[in-house]
Each structure stands twice: as C-alpha cells, then as structure tokens.
Structure 1
Amino acid sequence: MCGGSPHPHLVCTEAYVVTGGRGAVQTLSPDGYRDIPLRPGAVAWFTPGTVHRMVRGGGPRVTVLMRNSGLPEAGDAVFTFPPEVLAGPERYAAAATLPPGTGPRTEAAARRRGYLAVEGFLAPREALAAGDAAACRDFQRAAARLVRAEVPRRRELWRAGALAAAERTGARLDALETGEPAYLGDATAYRAAPTRLAAFGVCGRRDEYAPPGTALPYDDPGEPRHSGHEREPADS
C-alpha cells in the first residue's frame, strides 16, 4: 500500500488538517488499531506514543501542525523499525538518515526507510488485531530508550521554545491585569512562503516552512521543519 513511514512522536501531539484529496491514516496505540479516513475539512490528531502512517488513497494534502515548537524539529519521532534496528542509536541513525537533497538517491533512501518502518509496523498491528498490546508497548519502551540521551538537549529546547512562549503569555496577562499593556506597542504581522518544496518527510512529500517572528532556538537555519504541507506520500 502506498503511504508514508509509520512513526510516533514521544513528546508532541501532531494534527493533520486535510485541505485536499482523499486518503487515510493508520494508527497503533495500546488501545488498538485504527484506520481514520482523511477527507477535505477533516482534522485528525495523535497524542504522544501513537504510531501513525498516512496512506495515499486519492492523494491527500494536509497541513501539519505540531505542539512544542522546537521539539519536532529536533527529531521528536522514532520510526517503527524492527527491534534489532532500535537496539542502538548508531544502527538506528544509519537506517533513519537520508542523503541531502530531493534527487533520485534521496528518494531511493526514503523508500528503503519506509519499507523498513512498515516491516516493523506489521507485527504490532497484527498483535493488536488479536487483542494483544504487548508488542506496541515494547516498541514504545524501545523508542524511549533510544532517545534518552537526547533528553537534556530537548529539555533546553522546550525551555527556550514552548515553555518561554507560555511564560510570555502569563506576562501579558499580568500586564493586562495591571493596565500596563506596553507589549501591544510591538504588534506587527508576518507572512511566510515555503523554504523548501517537495522534501521527503516521514508522512510524505512536504513543503517546509521556517516562519519569521518566532523565537525557536534552531541550531541550524537549514534544518528541516516538521510543520508544513504534506503532499502525496512516497511509495513505501
């Protein structure tokens, strides 16, 4: 079946806002397997730990929204590779990393990555169909172990990104309450265009955005953003 590479996010909730075409998203979580239709106007979202895979159908087009700005861009996703690939960060990175660019070499690597993720996706799906959530929970624990060493860096991204944004909201509420909303004097507007077209995302080909006016602590200005428009999934 044509589709993206199945994966969960470990900290962030993700949402699909469907703007065109038709398809479906397959999900695995300890409470079962789902096949959610995607139609224009629909919204589907997945809480942390929910494995999801977009499937092509009539070529869905979605806008992807992620919580915790800075963490999705830092790699808050783990592919459902077979257990032996999840056993260590070196082997996982070798299977998950794509060559730069959008040419044939990168496309071939994206397809190989997708096939491997689907291979690891099938056993937990079959077990869930039989009422057994153990394989799904085993994958979740393996994914958590795999990223454990990255937690201190991601905590700093959270503090500088999502937590700082929430604290700014609190400060603005305080200013409104005291009648001194000086921050309103900095009001402005922004627009953004895609910074890269038809890149190989984990859910499909995507147009990527680096919105101005944000305070995200990106290490690399060229680092791919997870937020954007997903096009038809790569054939995986």
Structure 2
Amino acid sequence: MSTFPGGTSLSFLDVYTSPAPDGICGGSPHMHTASTECYIAVGGRGQLHSLTSEGHRETDLEPGSITWFTPGTIHRAVNLDNARFVVLMSNAGLPEAGDAVMTFPSEYLESVERYREAAALPVGASDEELAIAAAKRRDLAVEGYLVIRDAMIAGDDGPLKRFRERAAEIVADRLSGWNAIVQDGPLAQAQNTLELLARMTSGDASHLDDAALVSGLEPARRFGMCGNLRAYDVAVH
C-alpha cells in the first residue's frame, strides 16, 4: 500500500477565465484554517493575490514558478493568460472536509448555516448550471475580499481579524473529524518512515522487498473555488 508523498493531495487547476465584478479573471478568494497550499505554475501566466497581517501582495506566476502559503493566508488565483497550476495541499483529505472559508461579505458569515448555503454548489446540476453557480459564489467572495483588502491598504486590519474569527467559528464543528485525517495521513507516513529508519539501523532492510509503483490514476473533475479542478485520489492505492 502506498500513499502520495507527505500525505499531501494533488490536483491540476485551470484558473477560471471569467471576470469577477472588479474586472479580474480568476477564482474565489478564500483561506485555509489548518493546511498549507502550494501552486506550481505549469502553463500560461497568472498571479496569486494574497492578504496576510503583513498586507496585500500580488505574486506573478509563470511556468516554473512555485509559491506556497500557510494557514490564515487569504488567497485569490488570478488568470492573466490561460494560467494552469499543479496544486499540492498538506493534510490530504482535510481541505475537502471543509478546511477552507471564502471571503463572503460579513452578513454571510454571521451564521454557519448561511455561509454553507452560499458556499454550496447545487447537487445533480448540469455543467452549465454548476459553472453559473461557481461564478456567482466567486463573485460573492470577491465582494467580501475587496472590503478586507481595501481596509488593509488603508492601514485597518479590523476586517481581516474579524474574518479570521468568523472562519474559525465556521469550521469549529468539523474539527474533531480532522484529527483522524491528519493521524491517518501525514502523521502515519512520518511514523512509518521513522519505523523504517529504526529497522535499517538494526540491520533489517526487508521492506525493500515490498517496493511498488503506482500510476494510472484517473482524476475527478469538478468546479473548485479557484477554477476547473482535476483532483486525484492519492490517499491509498
């Protein structure tokens, strides 16, 4: 049995090409509460717009560029010219379990139910209907993002702090289920490596007889927050 290195998840991302209300083409600004994300640019030209306590930043991404960001970083994938990324996420399975909160306007963050209703895409809808719903969700997130960004540029970090507080409250009821994801994923891989090192130290290298190759994975295609995703199930194979 083998899982993807480091207990990470792997996706290919084609960043949305439709313009948001501010005229910028790209995805839904959002933040992860417990996971680190990495963008590896593999095609076209794009940017990562980000907000942290240090302020607003725009990072250019061209083929070969690599950037990653830690929990708490509000980020927005921007498509300048057919931007395509490979996306790596720590804690495979955890982001899919709700470790992301979009920057909706404050009234959508007042209750968990209202937030999740606005964040959900319709079940059983056609691709055309899903694309419309994803664009509507993106536009709502951009609306809230611009408020936080403009306040930060003006030297006011109040909206950023309030968003972080509400984001933590929105994911609070899911935290207990996240422990098992981390324990069975990245923690289990690290523990297994330590066990292998201990065995080799004692002269036992029998695990090398179990060498295996994994290939031929088929991606699941879906409308993600930042664009069209081809996500691979790399948990256990």
- Band the TM-score falls in, shorter-chain normalisation: 0.7 to 0.9
Distance in structure 1 (CA, Å) of the matches to 2:118 and 2:216: 32
Post-superposition shift, 1:203? 1.1
* 1:186 match: 210
3-state secondary structure, aligned to 2:122? coil
Deviation at 1:52?
A: 0.5
Q: Percent identity?
A: 41
In the alignment, structure 1 residue 99 sits paired with structure 2 residue 122: yes
Q: Secondary structure at the match of 1:37?
A: strand
Match of 2:49 in 1: 26
Equivalent positions of 1:196-211 (< 5 A) are 196-197=220-221, 199-211=222-234
CA displacement at 1:70 relative to structure 2: 2.1
Q: 2: CA distance between counterparts of 1:69 and 1:102?
A: 28
Mapped pair 1:128 → 2:129: no
The whole-number CA distance in structure 2 between the counterparts of 1:154 and 1:7 is 19
Match of 1:165 in 2: 189
Q: TM-score, normalised by structure 2?
A: 0.86
Query: Partners in 2 of 1:142 and 1:169 — Cα distance?
Result: 37
Contact 1:31 1:133 in 2 (8 A): no
Shift of 1:102: 5.5
Structure 1 ranges of 4+ moved more than 6 A: none
CA distance in structure 1 between the partners assigned to 2:216 and 2:54 by the alignment: 39
Q: In the TM superposition, what whole-angstrom CA distance separates every residue of 1:85-125 from its partner, at most 9, and x where no partner exists?
A: 11222111111111246611111110110011001101110
CA contact (8 A) 2:98 2:174 kept: no
Q: Aligned equivalents of 2:143 and 2:46: distance in 1? A: 21
Q: AA paired with 2:46?
A: G
Q: Paired residue for 1:85?
A: 108
**Contact in 2 for aligned 1:161/1:215 (Cα 8 Å):** no
Aligned residue number for residue 118 of structure 1: 142
Matched residues in 2 for 1:156 and 1:142: separation?
Answer: 24
Asked if structure 1 preserves the Cα contact closer than 8 Å seen for 2:91 and 2:185, the reply is: yes
- AA partner of residue 111 (structure 2): G
In the alignment, structure 2 segments of 5+ residues that lack a partner are 1-23
Q: Unaligned 5+ residue runs, structure 1? A: 217-236
- For the pair 1:145 / 2:169, whether they are aligned, the reply is yes
- Post-superposition shift, 1:73? 2.3
Correspondence 1:109 to 2:133: yes
Q: In structure 2, what is the Cα distance between the partners aligned to 1:37 and 1:166? A: 33
CA deviations on 1:181-207 (whole Å, 9 max, x unpaired) are 22222110011343234x211111121
Report the TM-score, using the length of structure 1 for normalisation: 0.86
CA 1:102/1:27 → structure 2, altered by over 3 Å: closer, same or farther?
A: farther
Q: Do 1:27 and 1:34's aligned partners in 2 also have CA atoms closer than 8 Å?
A: yes
DSSP-derived class of the 1:57 partner: strand
**More strand as a share of residues:** 2
CA contact (8 A) 2:56 2:149 kept: yes
**Structure 2 vs 1, CA of residues 88 and 46 (structure 1 numbering), >3 Å: closer, same or farther?**
same
CA RMSD of aligned residues (A): 1.5
SS of residue paired to 2:142: helix
Whether the aligned pair in 1 keeps the contact of 2:98 and 2:171 (CA below 8 Å) is no
Q: Is the 8 A contact 2:77 2:226 kept in 1?
A: yes
Residue 168 of structure 1 deviates from its aligned partner by 0.9
Q: Greater shift after overlay, 82-91 or 96-105?
A: 96-105
Q: CA deviation at 1:145?
A: 0.9
Contact 1:195 1:210 in 2 (8 A): yes
1:46 is the counterpart of 2:74: no
Give me the whole-angstrom Cα distance separating, in 1, the residues matched to 2:217 and 2:190.
26
Aligned counterpart, 1:17: 40
